[in-house]
Structure 1
Amino acid sequence: MQILQPPDWVRPRGYANGVVAKGSLVFTSGQLGWDGQGQFQSERYADQARQALQNIVTVLAQAGAKPEHIVRLTWYVTDRAAYLEQAKEVGQSYRELIGHFPTMSAFQVSALMVDGAKVEIEATAVIPD
C-alpha cells in the first residue's frame, strides 16, 4: 500500500489523503457497536466505536485480512459532540485495534437504522497479491 500525500499539502491528521493498493478487495458492511450476538454492551459512543472497530477486525479476519490491509473507513455518527468529546478515547482504541491511518470520511447522521446505535463504520481492505 502506498499513501498519497501531495508534497505541497499540509499533512492530514488521523487519515490519509489517498491510498494506492493492489490485491484482493474485501468490503465490510457497516459495523455497529454491538457484540456478535447483536447486543449493545454500552450506550457510550466511545465504547460503541471500539466495538465497531473490533467487529471490522473480526470480519476482515474471515478473509485472511488484517487491520493493516484497510485502505478506507467511512464513519456514520449520530452525535458530533460525543464524537469530538470522546475523540481521545476513540483514538486510543483506534491505534490499538487498527494502528494506521487509511483514507477516511466521517458523517453526522440523524439516526442509524438500529435503535441505540451511536456509530456505524464501513471498511474496505486490500489483501496484497
Structure 2
Amino acid sequence: MRVLQPAEWSKPRGFSHGVAFDGPGKWIVLAGQTGGENGEYQPDMAAQVGTALKRIVKLLGEAGAGPEHIVRLTWYLTSRSEYEAAGGGIGAAWKETLGRNFPPSTLLYIDGLVDQRAKVEIEVTAFVPGA
C-alpha cells in the first residue's frame, strides 16, 4: 500500500489523504462499530471511541487482518464539542489500538445514532494484499 502525499501539500495529522495498492488481495468491509459493549456505553466520547476501535481490531483479526490493513475510516459523531474536548483520550485510544497507522478518514457530525447512548460509530474498509 502506498500513501498518496503530494510533495507540495502539508502532511495531515491523524489520517492520510489517500492510499493506492496494486495486485490481488482480500477486501474487508466492517459495519459501523459503536462504543458500546454488551449493551453498555461509557458516558464519555474518548471511552466510546476506544471501545469502537477495539471492536474494529477484533473484527479485523477474525478476517486475518490488522490495523495496518485499514484503507478507509468513516466516523459518525454526535457532538463536535465532545469530540474536540476528548482529543487527548481519543489519541491515546488510537495509539493503543491502531498504532501509527493513519488511513484516509472522513468525520461527519450527525444528529444521532440508532442507540441514543452512542456518541460515535466508525465504518472500516480494509485490504489485505495477496501473497
TM-score bin, normalised by smaller chain: over 0.9
Partner of 2:26: 24
**What per-residue deviation string (whole Å, max 9, x for no partner) do you get for residues 21-77 of structure 1?**
242110000001111x3x224111110100000111111111101111111111000
TM-score, structure 2 length as denominator?
0.93
SS in 2 for 1:123: strand
Deviates more, 1:39-48 or 1:111-120: 39-48
Instruction: Number of aligned residue pairs: give it.
Output: 127
1:102 maps to amino acid: P
TM-score by length of 1: 0.94
Q: Residue deviations 1:87-124, cap 9 Å, x none?
A: 11101110110111000000100000112000000011
Match of 1:3 in 2: 3
Whether the aligned pair in 1 keeps the contact of 2:71 and 2:127 (CA below 8 Å) is yes
Q: Distance in 1 between matches of 2:126 and 2:26?
A: 8
Percent identity between the aligned chains?
41
AA matched with 1:58: K
1:31 is aligned with what amino acid?
A: Q
Q: Gaps (5+ residues) in structure 2? A: none
Q: How far does residue 8 in structure 1 lie from its aligned partner after superposition?
A: 0.7
TM-superposed deviation, 1:16: 0.2
Q: Which has the higher strand share?
A: 2
- Residue of structure 1 in register with 2:122 after alignment: 121
Q: Which runs of 5+ in 1 are unaligned?
A: none
